Amino acid sequence: MTRLKESKEIATPGEPIYEGQDIRPNSGAYKKEDKIYSKHFGMVKYRKNKVEVRPMSGRYVPQDGDTVIGEVTRVSYSRWTVDLGSAYDGNLNIGDATDEYVDLDEDDLTDYFDVGDAIMVKITSVSESMDVDLSMEDRRCKKLVGGRVVEIAPSKVPRVIGKKGTMVKQIIDKTGSNVLVGQNGRVWISGGHENLAAQAIKKVEKEAHTEGLTDKIGEWLEKQQQENEGEQ
């Protein structure tokens, strides 16, 4: 019963992280004989009687309950197809998109969302064959107008949000921008110092695995503000 790798340590694929029979492998780890191995280049995390490995990077895989930012790629008779930056597109049915009554023969679905629109949307179910259903029900869901979307690795999203939202709140406060983070790694930034907010988010992504990042980013943002003011 030995932890060959501790929580927050980095493991590589095929590397043994635990020896013993009392713990089970969770996502990103597998068991072979009496050892548990990592499936990823990622961070080890023990939770109760399980151990998992979170990959440092990787494309988004849709998960039930995630709030994500998607782009409408197709408008059909009664639904929209939404690209999520994943191998799997999402499906938004008219009934899940609005409470209003829509006459499918009379009304134009593009009045609501058209091809190219960016939307914040919630994943309500993911089937085994990876059919993804979406809904606009959650109060955070809306069409995103104006602003820009930057893309980061989905695995870094928790870091960009921070414990109890402290990291993203700091960025919002110090740049005056509105920031919405999608679980699929897409981040919408609107207003304020958009470019600075975008740079801060990219910086968090790059240094996600380091300690004291919230303070570092805070200091960096202050410095950038001073430099900008100096130029004016």
Partner 1 sequence: MQINTKRIRKLSEEQERLDGRTPLEYRNITIEPEYIPTTADGSAKVTIGDTQVIVGISTDLEEPFPDMPGKGTIVTNAELAPMADREFESGPPQEDGVELARVVDRGIRESEAVDLEDLCIEKGEKVITLFIDIHILNNDGNLLDAAALAAITALKTGTLPHYDEESGEFDREAEGRPIPLTKTPVTATGRKIGDTIVFDTTKQEEEAQDARLTVSITEDNNIVAMQKGGTEPYSQEETMETVEKVRDKTEEFRQLIEDAVGE
Partner 2 sequence: MTEQEVQWFDEDGKRIDGRAKDEMRETKMKADVLEEADGSAMVEVGNTRVIASVFGPQDLHPKHLIESDRAVIKMRYNMAPFSVDDRMRPGPNRRAKEIGLVAKQALTPAIELEQFPKSGIDISMEIVESDGGTRAAGITAASLALADAGIPMRGLVSATAAGVVDDTAVLDVIGKEDKEGNADIPIATINGGDEITLLQMDGDLTPDQVDECLSLARKGCADLDEMQREALHSSLKNQEQEGGEQ
Whichever of 37 and 112 has its CB closer to partner 2, that residue is 37
Please give the size of the binding site for partner 1, defined by CB under 8 A: 13
Is residue 117 at the binding interface for partner 1, with CB under 8 A as the rule? yes
The torsion angle over the Cα atoms of residues 141, 145, 150 and 151, rounded to 10 degrees, is 40
Does the CA dihedral 179-184-186-188 come out positive or negative? Answer: negative
How large is the angle between the packed helices 213-231 and 194-206, nearest 10 degrees? 150
Among 44, 118, 132, 200, binds partner 1 (CB under 8 A): 118
Do the Cβ atoms of 74 and 81 come closer than 8 Å? yes
- 52 bridge partner residues: 45
CB of 113 to partner 2, least distance (A): 21
| CA-to-CA separations, 19 to 6, 34, 53, in angstroms, rounded | 12, 6, 15
Site for partner 1 in 164-193 (CB under 8 A): 186, 188
User: Residue 230's binding partner, choosing from partner 2, partner 1, none, with beta-carbon cut-off 5 to 8 A by kind?
Assistant: none
Q: What is the total count of residues that contact partner 2 (CB under 8 A)?
A: 33
For partner 1, the closer CB: 52 or 194: 194
**Smallest separation (angstroms) from partner 2 to the CB of 142:** 27
130 conformational bin, left if phi > 0, alpha if psi -120 to 50, beta if neither = left
Q: Which of 43/92 has CB closer to partner 1? A: 92
Binds 117, which of partner 1, partner 2, none (CB < 5 to 8 A, cut-off by type)? partner 1
Minimum Å gap between C-beta 108 and partner 1 is: 19
Output the smallest distance, CB 155 to partner 2, in A: 7
Percentages helix, strand, coil for the chain (3-state, rounded to 5) are 25, 35, 40
Quick note: the x/- pattern for partner 2 over 8-37, rule CB under 8 A, is --x-xxxx------------x-x------x
Give me the sign of the Cα torsion angle 159, 164, 168, 174: negative
According to DSSP H, which parts of the chain are helical? 94-97, 157-161, 166-175, 194-206, 213-231
DSSP-derived pairing of the beta strands 118-126 and 16-19 = unpaired
Residues engaged in binding partner 1 (CB under 8 A): 71, 116-118, 144, 146-149, 186, 188, 195, 198
Residues engaged in binding partner 2 (CB under 8 A): 10, 12-15, 28, 30, 37, 39-42, 55-59, 61, 86-88, 128-130, 153, 155, 199, 203, 206-207, 209-210, 220
